[in-house]
Structures are given as structure tokens and as C-alpha cells.
Structure 1
Amino acid sequence: MRAKDATSNGPIALDRRAIDNLRFIRETMERAVAFTAVSGWGLILTGVVACVAGVLAARTDDRRAWLEVWLGAAAIGFSVSALAMWRKARRSQTSLLSKPGRKLMINFSPPISAAVLLTAALVRSEQFDLLPAMWMLLYGAGVTTGGAFSVRPVPLMGVCFMLMGAFALFGGSAWRDGLMVASFGGLHLVFGFLIARKYGG
């Protein structure tokens, strides 16, 4: 009975099965492939920007000026990292809008959006001392969840950010600039070097 059905359906059934199998294989491969366009050099440059910002921020006693320094550093670091990622993807012929790339962005965006909103709320209530811990925790959360679709050092870097953020949360304002430099500066430099060395730039 089964042989008769296969014969009666003929090439059409085989074509459909082959197309379904190819689609399944393609989707499985897309899910399995890590997003490798995260640029180690971009992270290194971001780390350098953060180190410079830390020096400048430590020299001011004005909280608004301190905030402007770090927000400016964040904007520059994000731009540099995004450009470096785009260049790496182009060089390796990888689409930033591939499934792993889209998943990385989708998982990275909510914690960063929350960080933006909480920054505005904390500044409005003049709770500046909570900003560094909140930035480290939410940036770390975004890197950890988004990095699940990237190479191994990326989510590990996110966990390190969260650990430093937890320490900053209870460490008091005396550790503020030091932890900002150690995390946004040091962690980006260390993990950027690892990614650049092991994953093609």
C-alpha cells in the first residue's frame, strides 16, 4: 500500500520532501552558526575611549559634567564598535541581518533600552551614585543574552560586567570611576584582544 502511494505521488512527493529537508538543514545551520562579526578591534577602541573618559571624569567634581563625559564616551564607543563590526562583517562576507545577528541585536536591545530609561530617571532624581552599577549590570545583561548567539568570549565578558556591577552596587561612590574604567575600559580591552586574536579581528 505504501509502495503504491509513493509510486502514485511520484516525483512531486520526492520534490516536496527534498525541499522540506533542505529548508530544515538550512534553518538548523543558521541556528547553529555563531555570529562572528563582533569586532575585537572595535571593543579595544571602545576600551581606550572608556579609559580616557575615566581620566577626564575623575578630574571633575561636577556631577553633570561627569555624566556628560561618560555619555559622550558611550556614544563614541558605540559608534566605533558598530563601524568596526560592520567592517568585519563586510570583510568576512557575513550579513549583520543573518539569523544569529538579528537574535544578538534583539536580545541586546531590551537591557540597553532599560538602561537609557533608568539613566533619565536616576538623573532626574539626582541619584548619580547608582548610575555606574546600573550601567554595568544592564550592559552586562545585554552582552550576556545577546552574546549567546556570538562567540564564547562575548557572553563571558557580559558576566564579568554583571559581577563588577554587583560589586559597584554595594561598593559606594568611592569606587565609581575606578570600576567604570576597570569594566568599560579594562574588560573591553582584554576581551577585545581575545576576540581579535582568535576570531579574525
Structure 2
Amino acid sequence: MPSAKTVSLDSHAMATLRYIRESMDAAGSVAVPGSAGIAMGAVGLAATALSLIPNLASHWFAIWLVAAPIAVLAGALLMTRSASVVSFVGTGKPGRKLLLGLTPSLFAGAVMTAVLWKANYLGAAPGIWLLLYGCALISAGVFTKIIVRWMGGCFVALGLLALVSPPELQVPLLGLGFGAMHIIFGVLIARGVHGH
């Protein structure tokens, strides 16, 4: 039968290992602020509202091309206010990993947008945007909280749905993803829900 001293040492060793593991996880990941998602979602909802105005409906593509960099800028500004993000990017390697997770799918989205525009086949753009953004979130989610991967999975599913949906549902699906879904997950992240 182990002595009280042995049990105490085992408990102390386990607590130390748990602390080291949590510290290493924190050093390799970033806490994305929920406010960034909420701000990006607000821009997405505004773009949706503008795109659904009858006189502007034919300009939905241009509206979303303008909204995208505005949303990215708003999200980036709010992320840079987070101390964990500043230290995360400042250390170099984790920041590069996060960018490497995001960049390939976002680059593919930009290339596919140009291809669709040149081919005059913009009806597939919403599905491709949602799908590739979801892929980017899943990849970047490796270096953030698991809830970001869950959000990416939802975007992928929504993108697949958009690719098989009729034209009149494309803008509402963009709004559901880049608007409502950003806000919902932003609120969940702000409340400290990290997923499992």
C-alpha cells in the first residue's frame, strides 16, 4: 500500500505535467476574440441587406467584393487588440503557422473568383467562397481553439449546400454564413465555449 508521501508526490507530479501541457498548448495556439467574428458578421449582414435591395440585387457580386476586405480589416483590428494574439504573432513561429493554415484556401478562393468572373459564371461564387473559407478555418483551427474548426465545418457544409441550391438562395446563404454564422460563433467564443 503506497504511503501518503508517495501519493502526494504522484499528485504533485501529475499537476506539474498538466501545467506544462497546458502551457505548451497555450504557447502554440491563439485565443481568437469573439468580437472579431461578431464584427465580421455585422459586415456580412450589411452586405446581404444591400444585395437583397431590388435595385442593387444585380450588383451583389461587387457588393460582396467590397464587403470582404472591410470584414477582414474589422476582424484583424479587433484581433490585434487581443493580448494573446499580439504575443502569439510576436513570437513568430505560431503566427506563421496560423497564416499558413489560412492562406492556401483563401488564395484558392481568390483564384477561383477570378476564374468564375472571367467565365461569366458567378452563380458558383457563393458556394465556393463559403466552402473554401470553411477549409481555411478548419486548417487555421489547428492553431486556435477547436470551436474554430467546428465553425469551419459549418461553412463547408453551407458551401456545399450553396453549390446545389437555386440562384435565388445564393445571397441569403452568403448572409447565413458570413453574417449570421460569424455572429453566432463570435458570441460562443466570447462566452468561452471552446468545443470538444
TM-score tier (shorter): 0.7 to 0.9
Whether 1:83 and 2:77 are equivalent positions in the alignment is yes
- Counterpart of 1:18 in structure 2 is none
Equivalent position amino acid for 2:99 in 1 = M
Alignment of 1:18-167 (within 5 A): 30=24, 33-59=27-53, 60-62=56-58, 65-89=59-83, 94-98=87-91, 99-167=93-161
Cα RMSD, aligned residues only: 2.2
Equivalent position amino acid for 2:116 in 1 = L
Q: 1: CA distance between counterparts of 2:109 and 2:116?
A: 10
How far is the alpha carbon of 1:97 from its aligned partner? 4.3
Unaligned runs of 5+ in 2: 1-19
Whether 1:178 and 2:181 are equivalent positions in the alignment is no
Q: Which SS does the other structure have where 2:131 is aligned?
A: helix
TM-score, normalised via structure 1 length:
0.78
Task: Pick the structure with greater CA Rg.
Answer: 1
Equivalent position amino acid for 2:107 in 1 = S
Contact conserved, 1:31 with 1:100, CA < 8 A, in 2? no
Figure out how many residues of one structure are paired with residues of the other and give that number. Answer: 171
Q: Which SS does the other structure have where 1:126 is aligned?
A: coil
Equivalent position amino acid for 2:135 in 1 = A
Q: Could you say if the C-alpha distance between residues 32 and 87 of structure 1 is closer, same or farther in structure 2, counting changes exceeding 3 Å? A: closer
Q: 2: CA distance between counterparts of 1:34 and 1:151?
A: 11
How far is the alpha carbon of 1:57 from its aligned partner? 0.8
